[in-house]
Structure 1
Amino acid sequence: MGMIHNTDRLIHMNKATVVAFLKKNQDSRGIEHWQKLNKGELKSYGIGLTILRKYAKTIGRDAKLAKSLWNSNCYEMKIISILIDDPKTMTVEQAETQVEQLEGGYLVHVFSSCNAPLAKTPFVVELADEWIKSDDTVRRQCGYGLLYEISKSKKKNAPDEAYFLAHVAEIDKKRKQASTPILMSMAGSLMGIGMRTKKLNKEALKVARAIGPITHSESCDPFDVAKHLTSDYAKQKLGL
């Protein structure tokens, strides 16, 4: 049965079957919304991120398929590519190439946070630190997204408290000059850092309160990191 199962997977989990899935689940309202907001070259089937995440889980890690899907002009294929890529085979060179090709929708967010495969690579800390210092807006956004992921790490070799305190101080220094997209990314990393220890919560909360709620979309509530860092969940987790 195992051989049959593996053969079945090889038959079904390829670019053609991904396209078939996308066509079957395309959403006309989503397509219309995409066309209003995005003027790039990528086309879209209008499918929501939740559906794409569930589908990606049925595929699992597949670096070869990820590469094939990335080299397409379809937004959903690129999202799935990011989600199924294999941290064990990813390289800095690949990350640097892909970050240059991110455009539209949630690609930046999925590429650098939300348990992104890139965040599970052995070079993630060095890459995050480098991108945060970059003059390139997308790299900086991704750098802070990766910092958020790093802040969740429970590995023994995870950065120490001093590392995160230094980043909090740097965010405080640069927040006033930051554009809204960068400020959102900064705030996201503060949210992760502030949930790590009592001391980090205290320092991250100071900066979060200085930033205040961030209005980033007419259709969404302002992003208020201070509210998250003082929530009942935060108090219970950290013993505040």
Structure 2
Amino acid sequence: MKTIEEILSDLQSLADPEYISKMEYFGIKGGQALGIKNAVLKPYAKEIGRNQELANELWNQPMHECKHLAILLAEPKLFTEEIAEKWTRECYSWDLVDGIGMKIIPQTDFAYRKVDEWSTREPEYEKRMAFATMVGLSLKGAKQPDEKIRLFFPIIEREAWDERNFVKKAVNWALRQIGKRNSSLNKEAIQVAERIKAQGSKAARWIATDALRELKSDKAQARLHK
């Protein structure tokens, strides 16, 4: 197994300073970025293999890519609620939130409870974690029953007022993802979007209008009725 020192050395050799400006363009800021593309980081993570102890060490490093590598190496069965809270509190960028919420939390036994908790948090990225986790749970690969996914609709509707960029985009994302899961949930998501639109706030109108555009589109409907 590679040591943390060996990994840090490897990451330095994979660094591409020119890619840092592209990361910033997509709103990935904070931390000490090395400029390593996901297409490079993922194969490297596969070589190392899952290891929660190593993931914990990497998360505590200041480099942005160390935290991404930590997400890729995390073992869901060993990813405790305490670790989930620590990582969530320490997120400073949307891509870290989405990586944790989509790839790790849905595989834990506390995912649904944390969605409910995080959805009412004040910090922007902690709140986003709730909706990123919804997206992860809503993917077909997560094999979650529709009955459990429907539990997210009241939360989405309740939190559609939040105008903060990384929250409202995540609320919209979760609503669209659920609505693309199957025809039944598509109809329900459209109804939820219509109610959100009627709330009248600027954030709610944006969330609903954008979601309805995709959920009602010919492309989405054709795929659902295949």
When normalised by structure 2's length, the TM-score is 0.80
Q: Greater share of helix residues, 1 or 2?
A: 2
**Which sections of structure 2, spanning at least 5 residues, go unmatched?**
198-203
Please give the per-residue CA displacement for 1:47-68, whole angstroms capped at 9, x wherever unaligned. 1233223322332211121111
Question: Identity percentage over the alignment?
Answer: 28
* Correspondence 1:173-212 to 2 at 5 A: 173-208=158-193, 210=197
Give how far 1:86 is off.
0.2
Q: Work out whether 1:171 is the aligned partner of 2:160.
A: no
* More off after superposition, 73-82 vs 104-113: 104-113
Partners of 1:25 and 1:155 in 2: CA distance: 32
The aligned counterpart of 1:136 is: 123
1:172-210 deviation digits (Å, cap 9, x = unpaired)? 343134322111111111122112232211222344574
CA deviations on 1:118-157 (whole Å, 9 max, x unpaired) are 221121111112111223322210011101111125667x
Count of residue pairs brought into register by the alignment: 216
> Partner amino acid for 1:134?
R
2:224 is equivalent to residue 238 of structure 1 = yes
Partner of 1:217: none
Runs of 4+ in structure 1 off by over 6 angstroms are 35-39
2:100 to 94, 111, 134: 111
Give distance in 1, aligned partners of 2:113 and 2:140.
Answer: 15
Q: Give the aligned residue type for 1:122.
A: D
User: Which structure 1 residue ranges, 5 or more long, are not aligned?
Assistant: 1-9, 215-222
Q: Deviations over 1:154-179 (max 9, x none)?
A: 667x3543x43342243234313432
Matched with 1:78 is 67
Secondary structure at the aligned position of 1:83 is classed as helix
User: Contact 2:119/2:159 (CA < 8 Å) preserved in 1?
Assistant: no
What is the TM-score normalised by the length of structure 1? 0.76
**Structure 1 CA distance, aligned partners of 2:97 and 2:45?**
17
Give the structure, 1 or 2, with the largest relative contact order (CA under 8 Å, sep 6 or more): 2
* 8 Å CA contact 2:125, 2:166 repeated in 1: no
Alignment RMSD: 2.9
